[in-house]
Structure 1
Amino acid sequence: MTDKVQLRTLPTQVAGVLIRRIASNGFPDGLAPSESQISQEFNVSRAVAREALKILSSLDMVEIAQGRRVAVRPIAEWDYLSPMLIEWLPQAQVRELLLELHDARVIFEPAICAEAARSLSRNDLARLHEILDAMTAAHEDPDAYLELDLEFHMEICRATRNRILDRFMFSSRWWQSAARRISNQAPHALPIATEQHRAIYEGLLARDPKRAEIAMRVHLEANKVNFLMAQQALAAP
């Protein structure tokens, strides 16, 4: 989902291959390769194989039981907030998850916005206004705009003074970035998004929870429409 060249350690590269296999149901018996099997197949040391399995375990994709038996965990229990899954899951699964992300954000972000309208400070408003001005100036720079977009939503979440919400929003930023890179390809997406962000800001400035909530919902639902349009355009021959 990115054009940047990223260097990967050997355990991470091995883990990436295994992630793709697991996601593609490459182990229908529910058993992933053991440490020794990984070492033999990839011609790597047992230490590298062990670290690769630790990565899979950290993603909740496998469970390493006593006797070194490696069982594939249920797909519903994987750590979908990890950026590794964005990079290595099959593209069809990534697209499904990005749609689920849009639906999830429509459920919780309007409520976050309403809560922020009740609790945000003058400094919070000043920061949001600053970001909004920068977004207006960044319509010709999609990468810069994307960073500002993410920060705008994070600032709203921080204004709730809820650390659990803050960590959840921050942890999902990789998926948010991937989704926005697609939805931003829709015609005039950035100027339209700026006006939608301005409506959100004005609801917050008025300290009107309902107005802010509705503005956020309108924005997020428009994002989903743009995402679907962009996906259709990319899939067209």
Structure 2
Amino acid sequence: MVSKQEVRPDVKVRTLPMQVASHLVRRIAAGELTDEHVPSELDITQQFGVSRVVARETLKILSSLDIVHIAQGRRLVLRPAEEWDYLSPQLLEWLPEDQVTALLREFQETRLLLEPELAARAATMISKSSLRRLNELVDRMLDLENSPEDYLEVDHAFHMEICRASQNRILDRIMYAARWLLATSRRVTNEEPHGLAAATAIHREILEAIESADAERARQVMHKHMELNIQILGKPKRTGRVRRRPARP
């Protein structure tokens, strides 16, 4: 049976299937388990000393993360790593450190493709009420520069407000689903000297461009914001771990 010592101390794993699943995900991500060695329901009961019900729930968790496919005859097949559900906060918590770091860079590259255009659209489409909310959020950022965890929520709300100004519900849901990655990447960039003060300043620049209805300026400043994040994430590995505690939804 997986011991409590194997579970990260800052994560409350409430069920035995979650504990077993986290153990298996780490082994799969590390390349220790291939298609020929992925444990079946029976294997899990024998290897971990758990019931068939726990084993079955464990496999459902792995399937929900798109890590395994339960084929006909309940045969397990590993899915390609490219197809895993990287927007899941649970998978983000369980992946090895180096894989999370790579994911955060890819996430910022994705934002670089999307958010400058969203900012440009906001500059031409945003309502007065949304502008008022953006101003309130930037003012709140200034007040929270000594409270990094609270700052995360305001930061996310700022970017979501810009996204909603585009009036595209699909983009809105994509941005919302990626909030765990946003929070985790922000925890890294916040570690920069004066990181939050710099973040507040560039968010204010973005706001001023949108307020001026200057689409090109809004695009450029948001692009600069994303590029700076990518540069920080590309720096040599710091001591300590990436803090992956999910933000409050």
- Residue 43 of structure 1 corresponds to which residue in structure 2? 49
Q: What TM-score comes out, normalization by structure 1 length?
A: 0.93
231, 234, 237: which one aligns with 2:239: 234
Q: Which residue of 1 aligns with 2:176?
A: 170
Q: Distance in 2 between matches of 1:3 and 1:219?
A: 34
1:234 is paired with a residue whose SS is coil
**TM-score, length basis structure 2:** 0.88
Q: Which amino acid aligns with 1:234?
A: T
Residue in 2 aligned with 1:151? 157
**Given that residues 117 and 203 in structure 1 are in contact (C-alpha distance below 8 angstroms), is that contact kept between their aligned partners in structure 2?**
yes
CA 1:29–1:51: 2 relative to 1, 3 Å: closer
Give 1:31 deviation, angstroms: 4.8
Instruction: Tell me the alpha carbon deviations over residues 35-77 of structure 1, each in whole angstroms, 9 at most, x when there is no partner.
Output: 1111111111111111111111111110001111101001111
Mapped pair 1:32 → 2:38: yes
Tell me the secondary structure at the aligned position of residue 157 of structure 2.
helix
Do the aligned partners of residues 150 and 3 (structure 1) sit closer, same or farther apart at CA in structure 2, a change above 3 Å counting? farther
Aligned equivalents of 1:32, 1:4: Cα separation in 2: 28
Note if 1:223 corresponds to 2:229.
yes
What residue identity is the alignment partner of 1:20?
Answer: R
Q: Give the C-alpha shift of residue 146 in structure 1.
A: 1.5
Q: Which secondary structure does the structure 2 equivalent of 1:139 belong to? A: coil
1:163 offset after TM fit, Å?
Answer: 1.0
Task: Indicate the residue corresponding to 2:62 in structure 1.
Answer: 56
Aligned-partner Cα distance in 2 for 1:179–1:164: 22
Contact in 1 for aligned 2:141/2:200 (Cα 8 Å)? yes
Amino acid at match of 1:109: E
The one-letter code of the counterpart of 2:101 is: R
User: CA offset at residue 28 of structure 1?
Assistant: 2.8
- 1:16-49: per-residue Cα shift (whole Å, max 9, x none)? 1111111111223455211111111111111111
- Note the residue ranges of structure 2 that are not aligned, 5 or more in a row: 1-7, 241-249
The equivalent position to 1:104 in structure 2, one of 96, 100, 110, is 110
Question: Aligned-pair distance for 1:4?
Answer: 4.6
> Alignment partner of 2:77: what SS?
strand
Tell me, in whole angstroms, the C-alpha distance in 2 between the residues paired with 1:3 and 1:193. Answer: 30
Match of 2:244 in 1: none
Aligned residue number for residue 166 of structure 2 = 160
Matched, 1:126 2:132: yes
Counterpart of 1:20? Answer: 26
Deviations 1:74-96 (A, max 9, x none): 11111111111111111111111
Is the 1:184–1:226 Cα contact (8 Å) retained in structure 2?
no
Aligned length: 233
For residue 63 of structure 1, give the secondary structure of its aligned residue in structure 2: strand
From 60, 74, 77, the counterpart of 2:83:
77
Q: Which runs of 5+ in 1 are unaligned?
A: none
Q: Aligned equivalents of 2:9 and 2:51: distance in 1?
A: 31
Q: How does 1:138-217 map to 2 (within 5 A)?
A: 138-217=144-223
Q: Structure 1 residues 3 and 153 mapped into 2: Cα distance closer, same or farther (>3 Å)? A: farther
Identity %: 49
